[in-house]
Amino acid sequence: MGVERIPRRDPPPYEELQDANLLTAIREHGLFRTALSDSNQFGPQAMILMLVITATLTGIVLGLMMVL
């Protein structure tokens, strides 16, 4: 019995940014492309930033709903 495996997809284009930081990566590739497409080495940090933004907005909306 042969086990069929799901074929791997080709990795997305990746550009390593030399002597850069998260803000430079977001400025060059954008937050969504950096976080979701891993276009550079700052993908995990950008994903954490998106999580913080989403949690903050959700907290604000829920807080406003409780007040009103």
With helix as H, strand as E and coil as C, how does 8-28 read?
CCCCCCCCCCCCCCHHHHHHH
Span 7-19, mean pLDDT?
A: 84
pLDDT, tens digit, 9 for 90 and up, residues 19-55: 899 999 999 999 999 999 888 899 999 999 999 999 9
Question: How much is the pLDDT for 14?
Answer: 83
Question: How much is the pLDDT for 30?
Answer: 93
Question: How much is the pLDDT for 53?
Answer: 97
For residue 68, is pLDDT > 80?
Answer: yes
Q: Domain residue spans in the chain? A: 22-67
Question: How far apart, in whole angstroms, are the C-alpha atoms of residue 28 and residue 48?
Answer: 18
CB 25 within 8 A of CB 42: yes
pTM of the model: 0.76
